[in-house]
Amino acid sequence: MNVATSTAFAEDAVKRRHWESFKLDLGVDPGPLDGVVSALDAFLMPAAAATRNEADPNGVEG
């Protein structure tokens, strides 16, 4: 499991404070950290898993 898309990361108080500060700089509200982390996980992890299962484009296995 990727640490950055884990529930523990999303629930960490320090990470939440950083997220709230970051949102102020954005000028838009992308939502709470746990929702963004969940969306990123759903979007990124299938692609990451697929790349782990594909052969290397240079023909190197492993």
Q: How far apart are CA 52 and CA 5, in angstroms?
A: 17
Residue 58 corresponds to which tokens in the numbers above?
Answer: 């240079």
Assigned domain for 61 exists: no
Is residue 62 situated within a structural domain? no
Q: Flag whether 40 is in a domain.
A: yes
**Cβ-based neighbours of 18, under 8 Å, separated by 6 or more:** none
- Using one digit for the tens of pLDDT, what is the confidence trace for 21-52? 999 999 899 999 999 999 999 999 898 888 88
Parent domain of 44: 3-49
Q: Domain count for the chain, please give it.
A: 1
- Summarised one tens digit per residue, pLDDT across range 11-25 is 999 999 999 999 999
* Alpha-carbon gap, residue 52 to 41, rounded angstroms: 16
Q: Is residue 32 part of a domain?
A: yes
Residue 55 lies in a domain: no
| Residue 54 is assigned to a structural domain of this protein | no
